Structures are given as C-alpha cells and as structure tokens.
Structure 1
C-alpha cells in the first residue's frame, strides 16, 4: 500500500505535504499508474510524463473551484488518483470502477467527458467566459499536449482565447511526441523554443498575443510549483510551455514512446505484452494488398492522422516513407488533402478509425463529395465494441451513407476486402469508402462473387418466406441464422448487400414474389443506418422488415457479448423473433 497516498483523501491533503513528501507522492502515483496499466491496459506514456505537473497543479490551485480541463483525457490518470479515485488504481478488483477519461459523473473535479483530441482550450474557454459573466475569479487551466496542437480545434481555441481580457492559463505539455512522432510546422517552433529555453524571437504563442513562460524541468515538481505560484490568478491569457519526458520513470516507455502511448497488459520487467499478435486480421490484409498494388501503381499514397500503430501502418511507414503521410491530429485536413491528390489522378488511401472519422463530416461532404474526386477512405475498427464511450465505432454508417456521391462498401470477408480495394482503384466516378470491421476474420460457408456493379446486391442463396440481408462482417451472422432456420423447416434467402450507400431496387422488388419477412443485420447504429433504407423501400408494401443493430446510446466498456444480447444480435435471438 502506498504510504503517502494513504494520507490523500482529498486534494486539500496535498497542500499539507513537505517537499520530500511531494516527490514521494509523485513516485507512488507513477507506480500506481504503471501497475494498473500493466494489468488492465490503457494509456501509459502520456500519464507517466505528466505526474509532476498534476501534483503541482493540485498543490498550487484550488480544484474544483479552479477548473482543470485535460485534453483527450489520456493524461488524466494522476488527476483521478488525487481526486478521490485512487482505489481504482490501487486495487485490481476496483480497476473498472472508473473510466479511461475524465467524467463529471465520477467527480466534481471533472467538467467534461473528453476522449477526442485538441478540445481542451475550446472547452475551457467556455468555462472562462461563463466565469466572467458571473463575476467570479477562479483560475481556468487547459492542459494540452501529445500532439494535440496539430488539431485544428486547438488552433481555433488558442486564436480566440488570446483576445480574452481575463484569466486563462494554457499549459502546453511538450514531450516531443504525438501519439507517434510529431508532424507539422508548429512542432518546429516548439523545438526551437526548447533549444533556446523559450528565448527564441520566433514564438507562435507570443505571435498570437499570449504572455509566455517556458519551463525546462517539466518533471520537477518543486520547480513546477514555484513557477505556477507566480502565475496563479493572472488576469490575462498565458501559455505555460513545459518540457517533459513521455513515459517518464519507466525505461521501456521512455525508450519506445510510440509503443507505450497506449498498451495492452504487459510484463513490467520486460515491457512485452501478454497478448501477442494473433496473426491475420483485416487491417493486415488491407495494408498488405495496398503494398502489393504499390509495386505496380506509383499513384498510390497512404494518409493517416497520427495513429499509425492503431491502423497497422508502422511497417508501411518504414518501408515506403515517400508514399506515407502522417498529417498529425488533423483528420479534416487529411480528407481535403486526399481530395486534392485524387483530383490530379493520384490514388490516395486515407486511413481512419471509425471513431475519429466522425471529425471529418464537413470535409467529406464539401471538400470531397461535392467535387466527386475518387479518393479512397479506409474506415477501420468499425462496429459494435466494448470500448469506452468516447471511442465507439458505430456511428460511421449513418454519417457517411447519406452523403451524395460517396460509395460506402462493406466487405463480408478478406477476399472482398481486396476485391473492393481493386474496384475502388479502377473506377474513377466516385469517392469510395471501405468499412473494415474490428471483428476477427471468419471463414464463410458460402462463396461470394467478387464482381461489383454499383448498388447491386448479391443473392448468395435462394430461399423463400424469409430473406436475410447481412451487411459486411455480419454476413457471417446471417449464415448462422440461416442454418438455425433450416432446422425449423425454413430455407431463407441469403443476401450480401456489399453497398451501404445504395439500394438494389430490382433485387428487393423480386423478394415480394415469395417472401413475407426481411431481416437486416448491421454492425453499427440502427438509427439512420443501412437497415432503415431497406425498411423505407418496403414501407408501402406488405413486407415485414426487422432491423438488427446497435441502439442509439453511448455504451461505456460494456462487454461485447452483453451488447449482442441486449440488441438481440445472436442467432438464437433472431430466430426466436422470426418464428414469433
């Protein structure tokens, strides 16, 4: 049991500690984070690097009256430990009692649920302006780092708060890294400021109008306390630029910063994860095929927004640096960049996790689809999952399938993944997105056609009474349902729709001849999703249509099997519904 942590019941207890005890507290907080993440997984490097700053902030300021807004939340673990949630880091049976992000439901010291990046300054600006209207005097502190300055919203926020005439403190935690390596001109200026200890005449923050302070020893709690005390209650916007070490205090994380940004459970001594790569997956199939195509087609480029590890692009980055573009945490720019490339005959593949492509709606609509440029978007990690509420991959279908000109494809197996990539590259008429499931690769029992005609579904097996349309990876579930129905004397028609964005009117109309029930299965949100398109088509007819997918809700760490039961997404549930 941690000795100093025993004394910390609330943040006021931190203010009672001696200099020596504060340093001990930092060590104990760091060890608590390391031990938990090694067993349960989570963001490691960002949290280890910001321990001293967190302790210093709570020592100097008066949270929750003074308000801290943590960008992305993956630097908030130490903050959670110090604000009444330490048991969730000290005791294994309580690990799941807190989320991986800040949450007002958990603590009065958290003001927002935050999981995506570059938002802290903008959110905190609202707190500051509300304070000014109310006439109170609390400090507002936005903490931003780990590459978040490359996101457009970060610049928008800084650009606006620079004009405030009251207290606003922005702490830039500069650990020389994003999730992976930093990309963008702003990081050149940060490097210059580090090199000159903040004295360089070229200073982006001063250019915007901020008062500016540089702190070289960003992992020295005593230095941080001294400097923060000087600016507490300041009556103008200020940027505190601190230099820290990502992964500080754990050698494996310091030496391999990208690998330990987020980690599965691992052995602390060796740094090796307990769950090794299980082999073939859809992401690996995708990038291997694109790499093969690159050998014969020099128009191919790969674009990603700061998460190469999550998208299995590290090897491609190393082997084809001239064909790989990491644009930083700038998903919106990535889409426009791809559109520009495609307009000139290039074949850009823009990779995004489903949860992050949500940030690109306007660019997909305006910069890409109105111009109808044939860029290719790979939407990875899509589908129902047990992820945190901030990182769900279920919203891409409603968002993307209703934008004119965009063709959104859903492969049902690995052969369709590669065939759809080929089709997307060969056609020149539309921007194309391909939805890559987060589910394991499963072999289908039926053979699928790999020839594609726009918005034409594939009738895989012919039956009667019931037709099952299984979208993408849920075609496997459709097969399971079909097998169970056949045991009940019903031979259903199996359909692989392939196209999310269009409806095969000819095929659907033919079902009216000898079917009375249609089942749609999709690994995503029902509201505004694929199944509703089918329901709308059959609306004026006597056909009964049942849509299966996720409910409209933010789930938070709910196990997959529990979600499947909740949504009736098991063969037994679906068959029972059909028979009823």
Structure 2
C-alpha cells in the first residue's frame, strides 16, 4: 500500500522548508502530519497516541526555533514521530522500528536533529540543561528546549534537574506536555496538582495577563535580565498559591495553554524566546488527538499494532489452536492466585501496570497492588520498606528499567537481606524498541551482588513455580525472576503450584559427548535444535539450569564429568552472564572442556523482530544447531559419509 503525504507535507524536507510557509498554512500542515502518522502506523505499526498528541507542538517548535542549531530534546521519544517526519525522514518513515530501518526513538547517530538519544523517561531536562550550560560557557546564542510529559515529570530525576535549572541562570525552556497519561493513566499527587493548575480560573486569567505583559516588553538587546526579573516578580504576586512548586524552584512558569492551538503555540514560543533564563511552559494536550478511538482509550492506543484506520479494528493473528499466553499475563494472573493464598503478598510496579499485567491485581486487590509512577528507585525501596514489615512483595520492573534502581537493590534490599521478589519483565532482547529497551545486562549486574538469588523460567509452569517459591517463608533472600517479552510455550499453563529447591536445576535429557546448558526461555530454542541435530547423528544432553545464582553445583559436576563439549545459552549478554558463571565453575573445580557461549554479544543490538534479532545474535535454534555441529564436526563428517554410501 502506497502512503502519500499531503500537498504541503510532501514539500517539507527540513524545518527550513516549514519556515517558508505562512502561519495561516500551519493548520493544514498539522492536519496532514497527523493523517500521515495515522496512515503509516496503521499499516506498519509503532507507537501511536503520543505522537498524535504533540503534532501542533512539533510543528510550532520547528517553525519557531532554529533547529538543529537550537537544541530540542524529546523525553522518552514515543512522541517524536512528527519531529522525525519534519526533519528529513518523511519518505523513510514507514521503515520505523523495522529491522535496519529508523529507530522508534530519537537517536543521535540517525539525525543531527536528534540532539539526545532517549528511550527511558525523565532525562530531557537534565540533558537540555547540560546543553544550555555548554552554550552559555561557549558564548553561543543557542536555545535549549526540553519537552517532557506529566508522566515523566513524576520521576525524581526530573525534579533533580529542575532544582538545578532554577539556580543555573541557563537559557532553557521546559515544555510540560500535560495529558494526564504516560502509557497508563498517571498517578500521584503531581497529577492532582497539575489538574488544579489547569482548571484554576486564577491561572487562566493570569495566562492572559502574562502574555499582555510580555507584549509590552522591549525586545532585542534592550530586554535585560533585570527587566525579565522584574516582570517575573510581578507575575509571582498574581499567581495562586497552588503554583508554588515551580516558582519555589525558581522556574518562571507560563500557562497553561491549549497545546492544540497552533497559532497560540507559535506566538507563545516566539515570546518565550525573548525571555532569558530557565522557564517552564505548561501546555495541555490530548493523547491520541485527532483519532477518536485513541482519544477514548489512550492506554490501548499507545502502541496498538496494525489496525484498520477507518473501522479502528486492531489486526489480530488468527489461530486454529489454543495459543500460549504472554509471560506478563502469566505473572499477572498468578500473583492474584498467590495473593489469595497469602495475605502478605503485595505487587508494586513503576508506571507499567498494563505492560507488566499487574493491572489485574490492581483491579481486584487495589489495597495490595500499587503503581508508584515512573520511579524505579522508589519502587525498589518502598518494596524494601514493605518487606521489613513482613510483606512478601513482587516488584515488577522491566529489565532495562531496573538499571535505574540498581543502587536501591544493592543498598536497600540486598545488604539488608530483604526477601523482595524482583520480577524482571522484558528480560533479554525485546524487539522493535531496540537498544534502550533490551534487557541485556541484568544477569551480570545482579550476579555480582551478594545475597541475591537469580532465576529464569523456561516456560509458564516454571514461572508460576518460581513465583510460588519466592513467597515462601523459607525463601529469606531477595530473588530475581527474569522472563522475556512475548508468548511462552504452554497453551494449558494454569498448572498447580510446586516449590522449587533454590539453586536446583533439572536434567531434561541425557546425551553423548556434547551438553547444552540453557538458562530461561532459550531452553526452548535448544529443544528445537536437538530434534534437528538427531538427523546428523548427534545426541546432545540438555540441562535447564533454572538458577544462575546459586548454581546447581551437583548438576554441573555431573555435566563436566560426562561431557567434554558444552554449549551455554542465555537471553542476556555473554559478558559476565550465565555462560561466564559456568566458565568460572569449570575453572574453580579444575575441569577442562570446550565451551561455547551463546547469547547477546558485546555490542549494542539495534531493533527488529525477535526472530530477526535472535538470528543476528546467534542463539536461535539454527545457531545452536550450527554451533553444536561445529563442535562435533568430525562426527558430522563421518555421519554424512555413511549416509552417502
């Protein structure tokens, strides 16, 4: 299907082309840009609602500012599709999130207009402040703008950056895009505070007073810091008491204004360019703006997959047989079963109730399941606090996001030996979201911490049993359960709970000469590979280790006593990961074997489908077959010769 941009949009190959248009034409540009995003995402997939919500802002920013000289930083990047289309990537936009195509997020190596690589939230203010400080130091008249959502604003890092920006005297603008959403609806006191500001009649009147005052200010070189300070002080006196947050941080606050009024946005940004120093503009938008279904169900339409843009019907794969569930849903339903059995169980997630499926427990047991906002550090430590009072907490954080809570896991959980269960969703390669979201590093960064148990299920039954084991009173240490994005392998997954001995693996199959040691879901790749290897007369042993800390030493003594060729497989980096743990065991106990480690290589892996990336990284079933055949090449040659005879 050929997707054609509108008559004005097809003329825009850079912001310079956008600036050639009259202000009266910008409304049409916004309509065409919004329609182009709908057309492309409906056919090719990707994030959806966030970019529709900032179409007018994207156009206004590139119309007013001198990008890329002026630095524009988008927080997270879910909303940057319009930005990409306006900055020379319109015709290749259909390759967005596809293998070897455009990244789904701003990326410095992709375009000079992408000033900062983003994928995790709440970094934009810090980055833009750094850029503004550098510009001031170098004597450059370069503007810095950070666009941050009200969801991302809940993170501690955003407040740390504002605290610094307010006293920095840096010439920067923070644009707070307030739509009451991140992926799920926002939570916490900040949401209520922003709602109060948005609905305050004092603010709405003040907004007009502010712009009228600015309109009377002298411009150019005569507009001094002293004048700006005098105006700011006058404004403060008229602001209602609910504004104290931003004013207390010494950020001059403007707004709220309608983020879908392109004329107002352009006029406002032009005015704010003339005001030096740190300032914040509060705009109110609707996530999914312009597509009724996306406006109505903003969580579903954050990233709906392929859909019919006319009917709104989301394309779903059709199967003739029952299909296995997603691991996240197994977690979401299993924690409810466990919580019904154990009144001490709590669930905690940082702003991902839908993504982690903790939403099921939040609906059924709202007093025992909490969304803390985009605050991974807080999620870890509040879990630790609950654990000190005897609660058994399942803290569910995506593997790549857990990197942000590392200190809290070390200091607040591990050192104190608190039995918090850290459920790492999206462990391993995650597909189209790419390197900012791949859960590649959790095995090594947790393996080096004392008092940690690290486990991974090979299937849904194992996930349920590991969850059951972690909440038992006999489990007295913090426990990691890592599992991948997507489906498992068991359509009939609601199996009875069974305890698993901590550090105990399982032998799935005896073999000859070569053994495959797997950790987690990739054990299923090994099972498929073993079937094919039988065709070459190769009969590998297969061991599902279940735990990488502590290791099942009894099982490993058996393996190294019997096999001289060993393949390790993991959905994580091979540097310091599961395979490294096996090599350490071999060295410590004086064994000698030929070991091949398969997993994520020591490089950044870009985006693509999971199938494409597993193949690229060399640990899918085909790669396992090739690796074992290479280890057993003498036998393969003999077998092939016998077959020819």
| TM-score band w.r.t. shorter chain | over 0.9
2:137 to 122, 133, 157: 133
After superposition, the Cα gap between the structure-2 partners of 1:499 and 1:208, relative to the gap in structure 1 and judged at 3 Å, is same
Partner of 2:632: 579
Residue number in structure 2 paired with 1:420: 466
- Specify the alignment match of 2:507 in structure 1: 459
Q: Which runs of 4+ in 1 moved over 6 A?
A: 90-96
CA deviation map 1:142-170 (0-9, x unaligned): 11015000111111111111111131111
- Out of 586, 600, 614, the position equivalent to 1:538 is 586
| TM-fit CA distance, 1:215 | 3.3
Q: In structure 2, what is the equivalent of residue 202 of structure 1?
A: 242
Kindly indicate whether the alpha-carbon contact (under 8 Å) linking 2:46 and 2:97 is maintained by their aligned counterparts in 1.
no
* Contact 1:568–1:574 under 8 Å retained in 2: no
CA shift for structure 1 position 94: 9.7
Q: Which SS does the other structure have where 1:242 is aligned?
A: strand
- Cα offsets for 1:1-55 (capped at 9, x unmatched): 4111133232122223223311000000111111111112222111111111111
Cα 1:241–1:107 change in 2 (3 A) is same
Deviations 1:229-254 (A, max 9, x none): 11104221001111111111111111
Instruction: Return the alpha-carbon distance in structure 1 between the equivalents of residues 615 and 71 of structure 2.
Output: 40
Give TM-score, length-normalised by structure 1: 0.94
Contact 2:518–2:543 (CA<8 Å) still a contact in 1?
Answer: yes
Given that residues 138 and 233 in structure 1 are in contact (C-alpha distance below 8 angstroms), is that contact kept between their aligned partners in structure 2?
no
Decide whether aligned partners of structure 1 residues 512 and 529 sit closer, same or farther in structure 2, where only a CA change above 3 A counts. closer
1:548 to 598, 613, 616: 598
Q: Determine the structure 1 residue equivalent to 2:207.
A: none
How many residue pairs match? The answer is: 578
With 496-505 and 236-245 compared, the bigger mean Cα shift is at 496-505
Please report how far the alpha carbon of residue 467 of structure 1 lies from its aligned counterpart in structure 2 after TM superposition: 2.1
Contact 1:439 1:473 (8 Å CA) reproduced: no
Answer yes or no: is the 8 Å Cα contact 1:176–1:182 preserved in 2: yes
Per the alignment, in what secondary structure is the counterpart of residue 43 of structure 1?
A: coil
What is the aligned partner in structure 1 of residue 75 from structure 2?
71
Following the alignment from structure 2 to structure 1, what is the Cα–Cα distance between the partners of residues 347 and 264? 43
1:426-575 matches, cutoff 5 A: 426=472, 427-442=474-489, 452-539=500-587, 540-569=590-619, 570=622, 571-575=624-628
CA distance in 2, matches of 1:415, 1:576: 31
Is the alpha carbon distance of 1:481 and 1:327 closer, same or farther for their aligned partners in structure 2, counting shifts above 3 Å?
Answer: same
Distance 1:276 1:567, change over 3 A: closer
Kindly tell me: are residues 75 and 443 of structure 1, through their superposed partners in 2, closer, same or farther at Cα, counting changes over 3 Å?
closer
> What's the CA shift for 1:318?
2.1
Q: Which runs of 5+ in 2 are unaligned?
A: 204-238, 634-645
Asked if 1 retains the 8 angstrom alpha-carbon contact of 2:430 and 2:484, the reply is no
| Cα distance change of structure 1 residues 512 and 103 upon mapping to structure 2, 3 Å threshold | closer
Counterpart contact for 1:26–1:51, Cα < 8 Å? yes
- Counterpart mapping for 1:33-52 below 5 A: 33-52=37-56
Displacement of 1:129 in angstroms is: 1.0
CA contact (8 A) 2:414 2:449 kept: yes
Aligned counterpart, 1:264: 305
Aligned with 1:389: secondary structure? coil
Q: What's the counterpart of residue 298 of structure 1?
A: 343
Query: 1:227 is matched with which residue: 268, 278, 290?
Result: 268
Query: Are 1:402 and 2:448 counterparts?
Result: yes
What SS does the corresponding residue of 1:456 show, helix, strand or coil? coil
Q: Is 2:188 the partner of 1:184?
A: yes
Q: Are 1:46 and 1:146, in contact at CA under 8 Å, matched by a contact in 2?
A: no
Larger Rg: 2
190-199 vs 27-36, greater mean Cα deviation: 190-199
**Which has the larger displacement, 357-366 or 13-22?**
13-22
Alignment correspondent of 1:275 = 316
2:430 and 2:257 map into 1 onto residues whose CA distance is 41
Do the aligned partners of residues 513 and 262 (structure 1) sit closer, same or farther apart at CA in structure 2, a change above 3 Å counting? Answer: closer
Consecutive unaligned residues of structure 1, counting only runs of 5 or more, are: none
Q: CA deviation at 1:107?
A: 1.8
Distance 2:120 2:565 in 1: 41
